[in-house]
Amino acid sequence: MAGAFGITLLCSWLFFTCIVQAQTGPIDVTQLGAKPDGSADMSQVLADAWKQACNSTTASTILIPKGTFLLKEASLAGPCKAPVEIQIQGIIKAPEDPAQISKDNEWMTIKYVDQLTLSGGGTLDGQGAKAWTQNECRVKTECSKLPNTLSLNFVNNTVIRDLTSLNSKLFHVNLFGCNNITFQHFTITAPGDSPNTDGIHIGHSTGVVITDSNIGTGDDCISIGDGAKQVNISKVTCGPGHGISVGSLGRYDNELPVEGIFVTDCTISGTLNGVRVKSWPAAKSGSATNMHFEGIIMQNVSNPVIIDQEYCPNNQCTNTAPSSVKIAQVSFKNITGTSATPAAVTLLCSKSIPCDGVEIADIDLAYNGNQGNVSSNCANVKPALSGKLNPPICANATIPAQAA
């Protein structure tokens, strides 16, 4: 009798355990009706899974298993009652035609969420090739905006790890109004000629960490816009692309300051620029301060080190006044490798507001081409110099008397 009673207790305990596991297991989108065939739209299924996870009072996981899933668009909004993880093991594909993405011109948007994790080893495939032929923004100031792949708006305390963004139509990732965001083991892939496909764009956000990641795309690997503060980038491999950039700044009214940018131990290969700070020639004010680039390896990079306060792509400038963006407390240290152009270091600061507190130390950049000797080009800046300097830096630089 006692044995039977014990078996009954054991069975009851096992049954209870099974119930608890069923209740606390991941929310598998295939069990809600998503089909991994690459053609059935999973937009409503993902919305339903998100609603279930976001309303849970305990931590929840949404599972997108291996397979190929079509997602026309998603807008996942909080606040949620507990942490949520979206585990992407498969491939999520966007529609090839950007006209099929209607909501605010964004493909996958997550907003007003705290304690989010995106993980799983899967891929967000923006299927951007068709859209790239429709992109006129690189040559026109008035143009139709294509959708980003992943937009995080007002998202806090979040980790994105072990994921790939492939062939975005516009930016791969766009951050706005975020705090404490970490990217780790994140891969971004698009052709070097895919237009305006910035890897990770950071705007109005604080405490962003990007580490142990590989980014190759058609524009800036990482672009840092106004209002970005305390951004730490380390152990990133960048290329193809346009390098790692602060800016462009000074194009719009009421831009917020950029403060505290740290780029360390990165490798940049075959890009149009290396590490860059850029602002438009215009009367619109702004500032970028406390920026440090250190321990960077350049491999056949055009313009490896550049401050460009005359940034004007495709002759879009309507105002030829000097830039009113103040650049200060900038250091470039321990930068080595090869330049694809003779001008290995270019510091073109504003005539009306020269750069302050620029430090250059231990630069060793070789140029093996046939267009002359490796050189530097400087204006409106007098940097503090130390260590080995190849090329010689700013030997003839001056600051205009009226601005000194």
pLDDT in tens, the chain (404 residues): 444 434 333 333 333 333 333 346 899 999 999 999 999 999 999 999 999 999 999 999 999 999 999 999 999 999 999 999 999 999 999 999 998 987 666 899 999 999 999 999 999 999 999 999 988 776 666 667 899 999 999 999 999 999 999 999 999 999 999 999 999 999 999 999 999 999 999 999 999 999 999 999 999 999 999 999 999 999 999 999 999 999 999 999 999 999 999 999 999 999 999 999 999 998 799 999 999 999 999 999 999 999 999 998 877 776 678 999 999 999 999 999 999 999 999 999 999 999 999 999 999 999 988 999 999 999 999 999 999 999 999 986 666 655 54
Alpha carbon separation from 113 to 55, 72, 76, 149, 235 (Å, rounded): 12, 22, 9, 18, 28
Largest CA distance in the chain: 102
Distance CA 355, CA 399 (A): 9
Measured in residues, the chain has a length of: 404
CA quadruple 67, 72, 75, 81: dihedral sign = negative
370, 339 contact by CB (below 8 A): no
Fill in the DSSP letter of residue 98: G
pLDDT for position 141: 64
The residues near 173 (Cβ < 8 Å, ≥ 6 apart) are 148, 149, 150, 151, 152, 160, 165, 183, 188, 199, 200, 201
pLDDT for position 4: 42
327, 348 contact by CB (below 8 A): no
C-alpha 215: how far from its chain's center?
9
pTM, rounded to two decimals: 0.92
Per the structure block, which two tokens stand in for 80? 């949620």
pLDDT for position 314: 77
Secondary structure of 147-208 as H, E, C letters: CEEEEEEEEEEEEEEEEEEECCCCCCEEEECCEEEEEEEEEEECCCCCCCCCCEEEECCEEE
Please say if 242 is a catalytic residue.
yes
Minimal CA–CA distance to 195: which of 146, 248, 125, 247? Answer: 146
Per the structure block, which two tokens stand in for 291? 């920026």
Alpha carbon separation from 246 to 14, 93, 114, 226 (Å, rounded): 57, 30, 27, 9
Fill in the DSSP letter of residue 50: H
Catalytic residue among 201, 204, 242, 292: 242
Minimal CA–CA distance to 310: which of 276, 350, 343, 283? Answer: 350
Fill in the DSSP letter of residue 282: S
172, 149 contact by CB (below 8 A): yes
305, 268 contact by CB (below 8 A): no
- Provide the pairing of β-strand 84-88 with 116-119: parallel
Which residue ranges form the domains of the chain, and what is each CATH number?
65-132+144-388 (2.160.20.10)
Minimal CA–CA distance to 379: which of 356, 357, 359, 400? Answer: 400
pLDDT for position 320: 75
Distance CA 157, CA 68 (A): 29
pLDDT for position 400: 61
Distance CA 294, CA 269 (A): 16
CA trace torsion 16, 18, 20, 23 (10° rounding) = -140
pLDDT for position 313: 84
Backbone Cα Rg of the chain:
24
Q: Which residues pair with 367 in a beta bridge?
A: 339
What are the counts of helices (DSSP H) followed by strands (DSSP E) for the chain? 3, 28
Is residue 262 classed as helix, strand or coil in its secondary structure?
strand
Per the structure block, which two tokens stand in for 320? 């030829």
